[in-house]
Structure formats: structure tokens, C-alpha cells
Amino acid sequence: MTQDQIILFSLFGIVFGLLLWGKFRYDLVAFSALMAGTVLGVVEPSEAFAGFGHPATLVVALVLVVSAGLVRSGAVFLITRTLVDAGRSLGAHIAIMGGIGGVLSAFMNNVAALALLMPVDIATARKAGRSPGVSLMPLSFCTILGGMVTLIGTPPNIIIATIREDSLGAPFKMFDFAPVGGVAAIVGLTFVALFGWRLIPARDSGVGDQLNQLEPYLAELRLPEGSKLADTRLRDLDAAAGEADVTLLGILRDGKRRFGMGRNLRLREGDVLVLEAAPEALDEFRVGQGLEPAGAGAVANVTGDGVSFVEMVVQGDSRIAGKTAEAVGLSWRQGTTLMGIARKGTRITKRLRKTVVEPGDILLLLAPSDRADDVVSWLGGLPLADRGLTVTNDTKTWAAIGLFAAAVALASFGLLYLPIALGIVAVGYVLLKILPLSEIYDHIEWPVVVLLGSMIPLGAALETSGGTELIAGALVGLTEGLPAWAILTVLMVVTMTMSDVLNNTATAIVAAPVGITMAQTLGVSPDPFLMAVAVAASAAFLTPIGHKNNTLILGPGGYRFGDYWRMGLPLEVLVIAVSIPTILVVWPL
């Protein structure tokens, strides 16, 4: 093993270790590794930033912009308005929502597809009087499956296509993934709709069956000056709290929590009540007892229609993820108060405003009504309210669909380079005023762009140094004497395992060159190996950290870390079982 190989393997080991640890965001980890690789001499300085201009990076960014345009035009809501019905049986609902999610994910980023459909699914669950926990995981899995079908459906497909172009001279086309990805998606969707959802553990998972709303938030309310509750005891509020469906936990005084015996203390002005309540109950209790939000700042004095409750789920790259409400300046920057945090399976023991927010948490915000959407966008969260399913401008809707369909067709027939086609769509959306120019950059997921731009040069350096040959050689030696289907199975299992615990984009960057080298070592076509990597890199169903979609549903669905494998493991086995024979038929060795 050469010195360069040792350095690169060490860097990748550190990157994977830090990604597993999760202490630092993946874009910082990847960029730091790129800088280290450049300083240590394993990445040429002239190539250090080549990844940021790589076609894969550009396509991922443009797909997000185009997806936003399809949403703003009303194209997506045209579909959901027509097909979603709260009166259907649970199995039928999962099948239809999963089908919609799968189709949308094939033509737009699958994270964006889930972000669009998750509020619709939650609203449907509320209307049907059931927990969304039984339908959110199937929806997430179906959007992941749908992304396998086309080139633009998921970043791993884009990466694998461009790696093929770099190594073999030509990329995969738009629908080259369809035969294998389509079979895996259809079989997976069928399994999820008929059997998979029954494997999800039954528990209160986000929407209580009795209250028909999200599980209670931990919240804090303060006694203002002149409060009628001054000099009363906390226990004297039990009757009012019970009537409002509020659970009183204790009080905060002088920065200290007082539970248990604190119920006998006489309340003072400035005391903070710690309680658990749903949004409506919380507001009813606040108004009835003359309380104010703790640390409300500017929004505390706004009344009537001036403020509104907003529920949002925290994403992994949200501004507030890993920070407190105070640290991001939620009150003084946005005039917004953090009213509550819902975190499944964990009792929050710190003060609300001092609590570090985690991905998957659901936050209850009290925000100015005219800026509520902007506040959620600024925080980088996903709103859980029903966004409404009406189409505001039919002309813009069909213009957006037609322009996108034309670009896909031209790219599919090789008449237009895909990044150029998507770029034209983005320009067209701006010129047609479908997507405001001021919002273009807001829709690009910059951490993913930085991850791609950083990992691509490192992956290229690993291949140039012969590192991928070492990995491929080890896998070939492990499978020596086995039939082709067994070799592909091993490659898929190894790739799936990496994708379940790492970012699927990073997994594809490493695994695709290994697949090509394995094929060259065996003297066969690399295409079946690349297809195996494409499907496996996307099939991250065992954990909430393997795919961003799984992280998004963690809080709203009320899931625990160990819930995913119950439906995910048989689904991954099924995906491998149908993909291997399909690959060998469609992409023969």
C-alpha cells in the first residue's frame, strides 16, 4: 500500500467515522477532508474545487430549483387534490400516496417529494382520526423507491451516471435506470402497501387517536406583572389545567426547576409554568389564565390575528439543528417565540429555550402571521400544516409541466445535455414568473452541494492512487469462484450496509468506482455493477440516518431508531432479490 493510499484510506475512515458520530454536519466534514487531502498532497490543488463544477453537482442543484418551480406552479397540488381522499381505507391510502410519491420522486428530488406530501399525509390522518405513524414511513420508503427509476430521481443515480461518463466515455441516459429501478420500485411499493405497514410497531406516533392532534409539547408560560395567579399555589391550577387538557409539570424560579414539592409553592410574578399541552390546549390555557409566552420578546405584545401557531419538523441541515432557540436569535431576529418541543421517546429536562434542538424534533412556534412561512424557511424546517391543495394559476401549471417535460424528452433522446436542459427549465421558470428570481438560491440544498463538491475530488484521488483497485480486489477475492449473481449480491449488500449508516451520496461516490474496477478485474461489462450500486445506494431503509427522508419523518411519525428495520429489512431483501435477476437480464455481463 502506497503512502497516498494510506492517507486517502485514513481520510475516508475519518470522514465515515465522523458521519457516523453525527457531531458535525456532513458538509463540514467532507470539506475539511478535502482541505486536508490537498494540504497532504493527495489531491492536486488545481483539482481541489473541480467537484463544484462537476455535472453531478450542477444537476443536483438544478433539480432542486426545478422541483421548487413545479411546486410554485401548482403542478404537484393538481395531482394531490385529485387523488388524495381521507375517506379511503388505510391500505388504499398508503397505496395511492405511495404511488404519487413514487411517481413524483422519479422526476424531482425525492426529498422534495416527501416534503410536499408529508403535510398532506398528516392532514389526511387527522381527518381520518388515526395516527400518521402508520403511513409516514411507507410514504418515505415509497419516495426513496421512486427515485431509483430515473437519472434525476436521486443524487446517487446522477453521481453514478457521471462517474460512468468519466470512466467509460458516456453517461447513463435519463431512463436507463428505469428497467431495474422500476421493477424494484413496483415490487417495493406493492410490499409496502399490502404488508409492510403492518410491521410498523403500534404506538402513539405523532397524532393522538383521542385528541386527533400532535402529541403534547413541552412548553413554558410566564406569570406577567399583576397576574391574577400571584400568591396561589401551583396545585390550585389542576382543575383549570385538566379542563384545558394541559398537564402541569412544575415551575421555574430563579433559573431552577421545582417539581414535586414545587406544587405547594405560592406562585410569584415572573415564575414560569412548565407544562405539556397540544397547541390548541396550550393557547386556551394561556388566555384563560392570563399568562404570556416565556421569553416571548417582540411577539409577546402582538395579539389577535397578528400571531399564529406554526408547527415544523427540524431537518438535519436546519439552521436550528444542534442549537438552541437563544443561540439562533429566534426571538430578536424573527420576532418569534419557541412555545414547545415534541421529541419522541425522550423527556426534555432542560429549560425550553436552553434545549438543544435535534433533527426530527417538532417545534411549536408563535410567529407573526404575515411572516410565519418566512420564519419556517429561515429556520430550514418543514411546516406540518396543510398547505392547501388548490391550484392558483392553471396557465402557469401547464406551462411549468410542459417546459419540464420537453427538457426531459430532449435529454432522454440525447438531443440536449441534461445539465443544460435543466438549466433552460430554471431560466424559463424565472422568465415566466413561475419561480421568483429572489428565491432561486433559497431552494438549493447547499450542504449537499458542498458534500458533492468535496467528495468528488477525494473519490477521484482514491481511484487515481489505486485505492479502489485494492477494495475491488478484496471483494473479488472474497467472491472468487462464485457465480455472477452472487458477486453482484455481495456488492449490493456491502453498498446497502454503507448507505444505511452513511450519506447515500458519499456511498455512491466510493462504491461506483469500486464496481467498475471489479468488472474490469473480472473482464465483464461494468454496467450491471453500476446498476447494482445505484439501487443499493438508494435503498437505505434500516435506520433514520441512512436517508434524509427517514430523518424527516422521525419526529412527526413518533418513530424510534429501531422501528425502521422492521419494515426496512424485508424490503431491502426483496429489493436485492428482484434487482439481481433484472440486472442480469437487462444489463448482461
Domains of the chain: 3-26+51-206+441-586 (no CATH), 215-294 (3.30.70.1450), 295-383 (3.30.70.1450)
Phi-psi label, residue 368: left if phi above 0, alpha if psi -120 to 50, beta otherwise: beta
Produce one character per residue of 386-405: b if its CB has 16 or more CB atoms within 10 Å, e if not: ebebebeeeebbebbeebbe
Three-class secondary structure of residue 381 per DSSP: strand
pLDDT at 359 over 70: yes
Tell me phi and psi for residue 219, to 5 degrees: -140, 165
Residue at grid coordinates 439543528: 321
Across-strand partners of 340? Answer: 219, 364
pLDDT digits (tens, 9 = 90+) for 444-481: 878 878 887 888 888 888 878 887 788 878 888 888 88
pLDDT at 418 over 50: yes
pLDDT at 389 over 60: no
What is the structure's pLDDT at 204? 52
pLDDT at 139 over 50: yes
Q: Between these two residues, 295 and 220, which has the higher pLDDT value? A: 220
pLDDT digits (tens, 9 = 90+) for 96-114: 999 999 998 888 878 778 8
What is the structure's pLDDT at 219? 80
What is the structure's pLDDT at 201? 80
Helices (H) and strands (E) in the chain, counts: 23, 9
Kindly report which listed range (273-287, 375-389, 509-523) carries the lowest average pLDDT score.
375-389
Please report, in angstroms and rounded to a whole number, the separation of the first and last CA atoms in the chain. Answer: 30
Reported as a pLDDT band with limits 50, 70 and 90, residue 275 is confident
Average pLDDT, integer, range 20-45: 87
Q: For residues 444 and 449, what is the distance between their CA atoms, to the nearest angstrom?
A: 8
Contact 52, 453 (CB under 8 A): yes
**Inter-CA distances, 255 with 169, 248, 327, 354, 522, Å:** 65, 18, 18, 11, 67
What is the structure's pLDDT at 190? 94
Average pLDDT, integer, range 417-441: 86
Q: Between these two residues, 368 and 528, which has the higher pLDDT value? A: 528
Contact 424, 407 (CB under 8 A): yes
Reported as a pLDDT band with limits 50, 70 and 90, residue 300 is very low
- Supply the mean pLDDT for the chain: 81
Torsion of CA 46, 50, 51, 57, to 10 degrees: 170
What is the structure's pLDDT at 447? 82
